[in-house]
Amino acid sequence: MATFAPPLLLALLVATILPTISSSLISSTALCDFYIKLNGKVGDPHSSLAGWSGCGLELFGAPQPCGFTGVECDEDGEMTSWDLSFADLTGTIDGGWFFANRASLEKLRTLNLSGNGISGSFPHDLCALSSLVELDLSWNEMSGGIPGKECWGGVLNLERINLSENLFSGELEDDLFLDNAVLSHANFAHNARDSLDVDGRGIIHPGFTGALPSSWPASLEVLNFSENSFNRALGTSLCNNNNLVELILNQNFLSGAIDGCFMKLSNLRLLHLQQNQFEGELPDFDSFYITEFRVGDNYLTGGLPSSLKNAPLLSILDVSINYLTGDLPASFVSPHLTVIDMRDNNFTSVIPPSYADLNALEILLLSRNSLVGELDPGLFMLPKVREVDVSYNWLTGAIPSNYSESIDIVDLTFNYLNGTLPETISASFREFYFGDNDIVGDVTNAICDLVIAGSLQEVTSCEDLACPAGYHGNDFGAPFQGGCVECLDAVCQPFLAQSTCPEGCQMNWTEVFNAVNDEDSGAGTAGNNGGSNTAALESGGGMGAGVMGAGIGVGICAIVGVGAFVWRRRRMEARFQEVVKMVEDDERGGELRMQRRGDDFNKFKI
C-alpha cells in the first residue's frame, strides 16, 4: 500500500489546488485585459505598478493578481480591493466588462480608479458588483448621465461613492440611493467646468442640473454636490437626515430661502451654501457642533442671527457678498475662529474691540461695508493673523505701526485714515496697501524698507511706491509706467497715494492718456511732467500703495471745490457710484457678481 501513497497524495493535491490556480489565472487575464484596454503601461521592469507591467506577456509564470500593486485578496485568494488610482490610465471602460467578470469580482469591496484620464460613459454594469462598499471614480473625464435607482438597487452594501471631478451631467432621480440603508458619504462635486474642444473653442459642461435629490437614507453623513448646476429651491427634505455632518452645496444655482430646519441638525459641522441664489434672512440655528458656516455670495438680507456668535466650535464664518445690514457681531464665544469674512455687505457698526482677542484668527475680511470708528491696533497684533482687509469703509484715525510677525497682507485702502505713515514698522509684509486715504507727507523709510525687502515685485526705491501730493497714479495710487499724473496743485490734492484727482484739480488728460498708454504697453519711461521723478510700479499685485481689486480708475467726480473737504466729497461720490454700479449690475443679471465668484476662496486654504 505504501507504494501507492505518492500518486494518491499527488492526485489529492491537484484536485485541491487546481481550481484555485485556474480561478486566479482567469482573474489575471481579465485584469490585464482591462488594464491594457485603458492604455496601461506594460513591459517596464522598473514600474511601480508591480504585476501590471507584466500584462501582455506570456501568462505562464506571470504574477498572480493578488501580487499586483493595489490588489488585495482574502485568505482564499479572492480579490477584495482594487486600487488603480493615478496610474495614467486613459480611454473608456468596455461596457459589460464588470458583468462578464462578476464571478471573479464577487467579493470585491473597494474599487478605486480615481486620478486617471478615463473617459466615456459610466459603466452601468458596475452595479453587478453586489459586495461593493467603496466606489471612487473621481478625477477622470467621464461624461453623460449616471444610472438610476434600478442600478443602485443592486449595490446595497455601498457606503461611499465619489464621482467628483468628472464631466457627468443631466438630472438625477430624487430617490437614487433611498433603498441603501448604509450609504454614509456621497460626493458628486465639480462636474460643472469649462474646457476646450480640439479646435480650441470653449465648451461649457454644466454638470448635474435640475432639482437636488432630496430623498436619502438616514445613514447619510456627508453630501457634496458643490460646483454643479442645480437650479431649483433647496427645500427641506434634507432636514430629515439627522446624521448629516457635512452639507456642501456651494457654487450651484439653488434658490429660495434657507430654512431654519438646517440650523437644527444637531450633528452638522460644515454648512457650505455659498455662491448660490439664496435670498431672505438667515434664521437662528441650534447646531452646537457647527465649525464652518459659509453662505457668502448670495442675495441674503437682514442681520446676522444672534445665535451665530454663540457657536462654541465655529472656525470659519463666511457671510460675504450679500446684502446684510446692521452691526457686526459684538463678540464670538468660539476660541477656534480662524476666518471671518463679512466683506461686501452693508454693516454699519464699529469693528468690535473683542475681535482683537480672537487669538486663533488668521484671516479678517471686512472690506466694502460702511464701518466707522478707528482701527484697533490689537487686530494687527494677533499671534496667528495672516491677512486683514478693511478697505472701502469709513474708518478714521492713524495707521497702526505694530504688527504681528505672522501677518502677510494688510489692505487699508479707501478709508479716511489720516496723519502720516508710521516711522517704524514691526513686521515683514508681502503686501501692504494704504492708498486713497487722507495720508500726508512722504513714504517713510520704515515703509520703504519693508516693501523693498518683502515685495515680490521689482521695487528698488521709495519713489516706486506712491504718488506724492499734487499727483495721482493708477488704481493702486502708485505711478503708472509713464509716471504719476499731475493735478492742478498740492492744495486741492493734498494726500499721498491717490488714484484720481478731484474735479477741482483739473486733470491733464494728455498726461493721463500718455501715462496709461505706457502702463498698458509696458514701455513707458519714468518721470512726471514737472513733478518728482517716480519709477513704475506694476499694478498686478504684490506690495504697493493702492486698492486691491477693482479700483475706481481715473474718472472725474461731480463735486467741485478745493482742499481736503472737496477730496472727502469726491470719495463719497465715488462710493455712491460704486453702489450704483452694483445695482445696475444686478439688473443685468448679476454679471459682476459672477465675475467676483471664486476670487478670494483661496484665502480659506489654511
Q: Average pLDDT in the 517-544 region?
A: 38
For residue 174, give Cα distances in angstroms to 251, 360, 517: 20, 41, 56
- Whether the predicted pLDDT of 520 surpasses 90: no
pLDDT band at 8 (very low <50, low <70, confident <90, very high): very low
For residue 323, give Cα distances in angstroms to 320, 346, 583: 9, 6, 11
Looking at residue 589, what is its pLDDT? Answer: 41
Looking at residue 29, what is its pLDDT? Answer: 79
Looking at residue 41, what is its pLDDT? Answer: 80
Looking at residue 95, what is its pLDDT? Answer: 85
What CA–CA distance (Å, rounded) separates 258 from 265?
A: 13
Q: 47: number of CA atoms within 13 Å, CB side?
A: 17
What CA–CA distance (Å, rounded) separates 287 from 247?
A: 13
Looking at residue 253, what is its pLDDT? Answer: 96
Q: Average pLDDT in the 131-156 region?
A: 95
pLDDT band at 61 (very low <50, low <70, confident <90, very high): very low
Q: Where are the beta strands (DSSP E) in 342-493?
A: 346-347, 363-365, 387-389, 396-397, 409-411, 416-419, 431-433, 438-439, 471-472, 485-486
Looking at residue 511, what is its pLDDT? Answer: 56
Instruction: Kindly state the cell numbers that stand for 171.
Output: 438630472
What CA–CA distance (Å, rounded) separates 505 from 511?
A: 14
Looking at residue 458, what is its pLDDT? Answer: 54
The set of residues, in sequence order, having a beta carbon less than 8 Å from that of 498 and lying 6+ positions away, is: 435, 436, 467, 471, 472, 473, 477
Q: Cα-flanking dihedrals φ and ψ of residue 266, to 5°?
A: -70, -25
Query: Highest-confidence range of 48-57, 189-198, 224-233, 586-595, by mean pLDDT?
Result: 224-233
Looking at residue 605, what is its pLDDT? Answer: 31
Long-range contacts from 506-510, C-beta under 8 angstroms, 24+ separation: 507/472, 507/554, 507/556
pLDDT band at 558 (very low <50, low <70, confident <90, very high): very low
Looking at residue 597, what is its pLDDT? Answer: 38
Q: Of all helices (H) and strands (E), which one includes residue 455?
A: none
pLDDT band at 65 (very low <50, low <70, confident <90, very high): confident
Place of cell 485584469: 31
pLDDT band at 604 (very low <50, low <70, confident <90, very high): very low
Nearest to 519 by CA among 556, 549, 475: 475
Place of cell 504681528: 404
pLDDT band at 198 (very low <50, low <70, confident <90, very high): low
Instruction: Identify the burial level of 544 via C-beta atoms within 10 angstroms of its C-beta, where 0-12 means exposed, 13-18 middle and 19 or more buried.
Output: buried
Nearest to 389 by CA among 372, 352, 414, 423: 414
What CA–CA distance (Å, rounded) separates 10 from 309?
A: 77
The greatest distance separating any two alpha carbons of the chain, rounded to the nearest whole angstrom, comes to 123
> How, if at all, do strands 246-248 and 79-83 pair?
unpaired
Tell me how crowded residue 213 is: count the other CB atoms within 10 A of its CB.
22
pLDDT band at 509 (very low <50, low <70, confident <90, very high): low
Q: Average pLDDT in the 503-529 region?
A: 53
Looking at residue 263, what is its pLDDT? Answer: 85
Looking at residue 233, what is its pLDDT? Answer: 95
- Whether the predicted pLDDT of 371 surpasses 60: yes
* Mean pLDDT, the chain, integer: 79
Nearest to 415 by CA among 461, 471, 374, 357: 374
First-residue to last-residue Cα distance in the chain: 78
What CA–CA distance (Å, rounded) separates 321 from 22?
A: 64
Nearest to 126 by CA among 91, 161, 88: 161
Q: 26: number of CA atoms within 13 Å, CB side?
A: 14
Please tell me the least confidently modeled range out of 350-359, 496-505, 513-522.
513-522
Place of cell 491594457: 36
152, amino acid identity: W
Nearest to 496 by CA among 542, 544, 554: 544
Number of residues that make up the chain: 606
Q: Average pLDDT in the 547-569 region?
A: 31
Residue 470 — left, alpha, or beta (φ > 0 → left; ψ -120 to 50 → alpha)? left
Give the whole-number percent of the chain exceeding pLDDT 90: 50
